[in-house]
Structure 1
């Protein structure tokens, strides 16, 4: 068990070109490029950047299928983590965990975070200094008190093995495009290696990005509860709208509120929708919704991004898509009107 909130200062922080740069630097500092024996493991569904970076750096990427189902947000358990180490042993160089999760919006509860930390500590006892844990928490702040970090419960040894990736584009600032992120590590020696990677691959982060990151953090830290509460409320109103509409559509047409929205997100501004009536694969579902939106909405300059879950290395036949809710409420309402029309038409045709 850990000892409360970790404290970082300048010795522990490497400023990067956004969260993308933070993830790359973290993996580059862990993977030995002269061999493919170094394994990076990430639970599914997994953001594609983890796999592409691992392979680009000469490592081997392996996906970990959790025991949790869609209705549980594909929850990760300590048993799943243990299985990853049993399968890959000392070759497992980095375990990548994303919470709040992209694309599910699932957060860890305090019990889940504590139990995962305990399992990782057990693995460190067996394999001291053999692996790191990349904690991608870029969506922290969107989800309010629902988000619990493994770092809160990590032992000092585990904290020194954790690389925390954050940016100002989501919950800490809500400013995508500023390319302002950072990696924090309790081990200053590791941080120095991260800085070397950042300097070699991207030089210094641009001054405007650094200034914005500093201003964003000052703003958040000046009133953490108020600022983070405002950010959470902004996105929560949007994900609630989409979930409410999908649940109403499920109740109206199939008599089951969870038919099209298996689980409400706790964090992030994404909703996972499941539309088996609109195609045999998630890509077919995406194309159906895209074409219907383009033909049914007069002004298509402002749309809603829909990404197939197979882009996160999941089975395409789940027919699930990630709906981005980071747009105006009226745009989301129009998109849900299109979804309802297509569902109604598909179910009527299938009778």
Structure 2
């Protein structure tokens, strides 16, 4: 007899919304001559010295399991990196875990701290996986909208208004995906006062820490009094151009780490050994390459912001990451309408802002992790598209008259 497969699927899993990023990326991949500003992936190839280290690791036969938390040598280097760059001190033996991407770090963090019904405050617009990961861990995502007039930064007042007796944690991402917004030390200190007052935890996604442009990056764990309340998430994907390697790491008080390692034992075992050895090389000998990539992104950011403003689209200046988040409200189109028509008519792929939460409606996310030549062509095409919309609107008004 036939069965109804829907009856056998998890209600929670069935209820997840598919990624709004992948939707437009997959559509663009099926078309020719498309310039994709959609997926947040560096256009740089992983620096050669890192690739060579992984190749040599394979040649030398490093193909066995490592400790669940990762190679101790790599964890030691991560600890040095965090101390050197972000003034946070973690013991490599029991306060650091190497994970399969920063996304897995987030998953481990939420599984370790959430009980059914616990609430996590998520600042939107936000990366698409945050609400899903909280939900899968049994938690309840509570969305807090931010706006362009405040550079998409959350305020202590907003946090206070959202906190209930079920609130367990706040999820911060700075620099932010999708807006590029950065919280400075003073702003993080104000958030810390709220965290301390309400006895909360903070999961801080710092995957774009290497890509800050206007101010020195501040880790939330380095704010006085926040070390014990922070689970720090980072990784190699963005700053080191290692997205396909799927290597992340998390650092936290050992009490959290002990629980996360247990979860890791039963789900993944460990990250691939040869890739961990590549990451070791990345931390030891790639500072110059990372800085060169950051400089390229900085120049591209400036070009994108200036170009979008010349086109007539309002666009705040992102302080980090490699995204701009311009408003398309003047066009009269929704975010999805704008993105779909831009792709069909001018073959430029962007992500509609509502993929990152309701407060993203009226915006689009454009990644500048592409060559300047590609960005110049993309800006010409977007400018032509916006001009065509203005002409259409003028014709409609003329006919009304």
Note whether the superposition's TM-score is higher than 0.5.
yes
- Partners of 1:108 and 1:146 in 2: CA distance: 10
Does the residue aligned with 1:29 lie in a helix, a strand or coil?
helix
Deviation digits for residues 81-125 of structure 1, max 9, x if unmatched?
22222xx22x1122111100111101112211222122222222x
> Does 2:366 match 1:323?
yes
Partner of 1:105: 180
Paired residues of 1:12 and 1:188 also in contact (CA < 8 A): yes
Compared with structure 1, are the counterparts of its residues 218 and 9 closer, same or farther at alpha carbon in structure 2 (3 Å cutoff)? farther
> Does 2:186 match 1:133?
no
Deviation digits for residues 160-194 of structure 1, max 9, x if unmatched?
121000010112x1221110100101x11211111
- Partners of 2:344 and 2:248 in 1: CA distance: 36
Indicate which of 38, 50, 62 corresponds to 2:130.
Answer: 50
- Partners of 1:54 and 1:240 in 2: CA distance: 35
Indicate which of 335, 347, 357 corresponds to 1:282.
Answer: 335
Deviation digits for residues 227-282 of structure 1, max 9, x if unmatched?
553232121122222112112222xxxxxxxxx13301110000012223545310
Partner of 1:142: 211
Partner of 1:160: 228
Deviating more after overlay: 235-244 vs 277-286: 277-286
Paired residues of 1:46 and 1:63 also in contact (CA < 8 A): no
Does the residue aligned with 1:174 lie in a helix, a strand or coil?
coil
> Does 2:391 match 1:348?
yes
Q: Which runs of 5+ in 1 are unaligned?
A: 125-130, 251-259, 295-303
Deviation digits for residues 54-104 of structure 1, max 9, x if unmatched?
1112221111224xx21332211122222222xx22x11221111001111
TM-score with structure 2 setting the length: 0.72
Compared with structure 1, are the counterparts of its residues 338 and 40 closer, same or farther at alpha carbon in structure 2 (3 Å cutoff)? same
Compared with structure 1, are the counterparts of its residues 279 and 176 closer, same or farther at alpha carbon in structure 2 (3 Å cutoff)? farther
Indicate which of 197, 210, 214 corresponds to 2:276.
Answer: 210
Paired residues of 2:309 and 2:315 also in contact (CA < 8 A): no
Partner of 1:119: 194
> Does 2:105 match 1:22?
yes
The number of equivalent residue pairs is 307
> Does 2:294 match 1:232?
yes
Equivalent positions of 1:178-189 (< 5 A) are: 178-185=245-252, 187-189=253-255
Deviating more after overlay: 12-21 vs 49-58: 49-58
Q: Which runs of 5+ in 2 are unaligned?
A: 1-85, 395-401
> Does 2:169 match 1:169?
no
Partner of 1:198: 264
- Partners of 1:208 and 1:79 in 2: CA distance: 47
Paired residues of 1:116 and 1:150 also in contact (CA < 8 A): no
Deviation digits for residues 197-236 of structure 1, max 9, x if unmatched?
222222211113212222212125xx5xx55532321211
Superposed CA RMSD: 1.8
Compared with structure 1, are the counterparts of its residues 305 and 191 closer, same or farther at alpha carbon in structure 2 (3 Å cutoff)? farther
Partner of 2:56: none
> Does 2:378 match 1:335?
yes
Paired residues of 2:169 and 2:203 also in contact (CA < 8 A): yes
Shift of 1:17: 0.6
- Partners of 1:73 and 1:146 in 2: CA distance: 17
Partner of 1:309: 353
- Partners of 1:184 and 1:349 in 2: CA distance: 54
> Does 2:95 match 1:12?
yes
Indicate which of 245, 264, 272 corresponds to 2:307.
Answer: 245
Paired residues of 2:172 and 2:202 also in contact (CA < 8 A): yes
Does the residue aligned with 1:8 lie in a helix, a strand or coil?
coil
- Partners of 2:102 and 2:332 in 1: CA distance: 34
